[in-house]
Structure 1
Amino acid sequence: MSEQTAAPAELVHLEVSDAVATITLDSPHNRNALSRQLITELREHLATADADPSVRVVVLTSSGRVFCSGADLSEAATVPMHEGARAIVALQRQIVALTKPVVVVVAGAARAGGIGIVAAADVAIVAEDATFALTEVKLGLTPAVISLTVLPRLSDRAAALTALGGEVFSGAEAAAYGLVTRAVPAADLATAVEETVASLATGAAQGLRETKALLGRDLLARIDRDGEELVELSARLFGSEEAREAMRAFLSRPKP
């Protein structure tokens, strides 16, 4: 097979063991940004796990310190703006609508669209020193499509502070704000996840499916009602000259 036809390396991995499907984001070159390929693979693995009768719980994690850095700004010039925004809405909806509980694990950094994934999950367990930031305001944007899942989790005061400020906040603060379920010392993260997943996995398939549907009903209705309007808002802001200039400046910064 020639280099031109070689398939790209997989960015998202799926492993099933003992009733648990572990999905791992593994795109270190762009800090697990929500590229077209990463979203496509993630959605495929979520569908596979959902259809597997042996799976009781889905764990969503990352291979490196960065869980997800948000939208892939390097694709902004090649991927239609509406398409990218709709893909993120569809991903959040799929996580909420999945028939198995989804546990998201954040050891390091989650930014912008990555926080939408965290908010869409049923349970979020993070390190106390993990970092979060709704950075859109710094780029002339707003957390439009991820607000579908993020705003129902946050208190009104926390939403105003984090979305208007765009500043970094810790895993411990994320728990206080309602964004995540639990924050633990980094050394205890693996144990906390293991204990939570083991507890969830004791649920009967029907009980998990119907309880998750009950809990997610209002969130799904919100996504279906407001999703397209927020796609339009996101696309309009991404296409503005102010945002384009800010993104060009961001992409031209020296890498750390």
Structure 2
Amino acid sequence: MTLIGRTRARGIETLTLDSPHNRNALSAALVGELATALAEGEKDGDVRAIVLTHTGNTFSAGADLKDPPDPDALVGLLRQIIELPKPVLARVTGHVRAGGLGLLATCDIGVAATGSSFAFTEVRIGVAPAVISLPLLPRTDPRALARYYLTGERFDAAEAARIGLLTATGDAVDDVLEPLLDGLRKAAPEALAETKRLLTARVLEAFDRDAADLTALSARLFASAQAREGMTAFLERRDPAWAL
């Protein structure tokens, strides 16, 4: 079963997360297939930019709790998007949760429909947004992250744009996206690559400095008793034991 749809129009490759049975959760299989599709798009000289979008009402629900990716594989995917010499844009028309926000944060430009919603739900299942902090901390308002990391509150697209998680929002997301794509089509490929290198330098510094520690933290927390209780409660649709 293919988990990544692929289409192309006028130099723009669109990769569609297509795993509706688990709300496009980041399973080991999806992470691997997406990494392969991105690598092929990078090598193709006819591709000017890549759009990452989704089927269904969820861009990504975060890590697949039944088939989670290896933390190193997830770090590798996030870094791959950051290092890709072609712009990667996110097109969101639904909900984004937990690890899905890390995927969104790696994209150079993020556009979402007005009705989209966002939440860092990790603390509610007994873990922390460890690996996804690699792209998030350098790019997003620190006071806002403190609030949403610690509380797990849901926030809307306008707030996501205010704190730097998104570039733009609109009722008709393609009306917002198309002018951006037209601009990229007019840009010289080598100039785009070098400009992206300038923009991602600080993010890559965070990967070089912190990836190993945050990967270890993620593995430790996911193996903890609190995480087992939190994930079990989530799958059983009940409150975890610590909820007051």
Shift of 1:16: 2.3
CA distance in 2, matches of 1:153, 1:210: 19
Equivalent position to 1:48, from 40, 61, 70: 40
> Cα distance, 1:17 vs. partner?
2.3
How many percent of aligned residue pairs carry the same amino acid? 46
Moved over 6 A (4+): none
Matched, 1:156 2:148: no
Please, which runs of 5 or more residues in structure 2 have no aligned partner? 239-244
Which of 187, 211, 236 is the matching residue for 1:227? Answer: 211
Give, in angstroms, the shift of residue 215 of structure 1. 1.0
Q: 1:19 aligns with which of 5, 8, 11?
A: 11
Aligned Cα root-mean-square deviation (Å): 1.2
What code does the residue aligned with 1:115 have?
L
TM-score (ref. length: structure 1):
0.90
Q: Is the 8 A contact 1:74 1:251 kept in 2?
A: no
Partner of 1:4: none
Describe the SS at the equivalent of 1:53. coil
Contact 2:138–2:202 under 8 Å retained in 1: no
Q: How does the TM-score come out when normalised to structure 2?
A: 0.95
Unaligned runs of 5+ in 1: 1-8, 77-82
Q: What does residue 145 of structure 1 align with? A: 131
Aligned counterparts of 2:6 and 2:36: Cα–Cα separation in 1? 10
Counterpart residue type for residue 31 of structure 1: R
Q: Is 1:64 aligned with 2:48?
A: no
Alignment of 1:1-256 (within 5 A): 9-76=1-68, 84-185=70-171, 188-253=172-237
- Are the counterparts in 2 of residues 133 and 168 from structure 1 also a CA contact under 8 Å? yes
CA distance in 1, matches of 2:92, 2:75: 21
**What does residue 3 of structure 1 align with?**
none
Q: Distance in 2 between matches of 1:128 and 1:88?
A: 28
2:95, 2:70 → 1: CA distance? 22
Secondary structure of 1:16's match? strand
Aligned position for 2:242: none
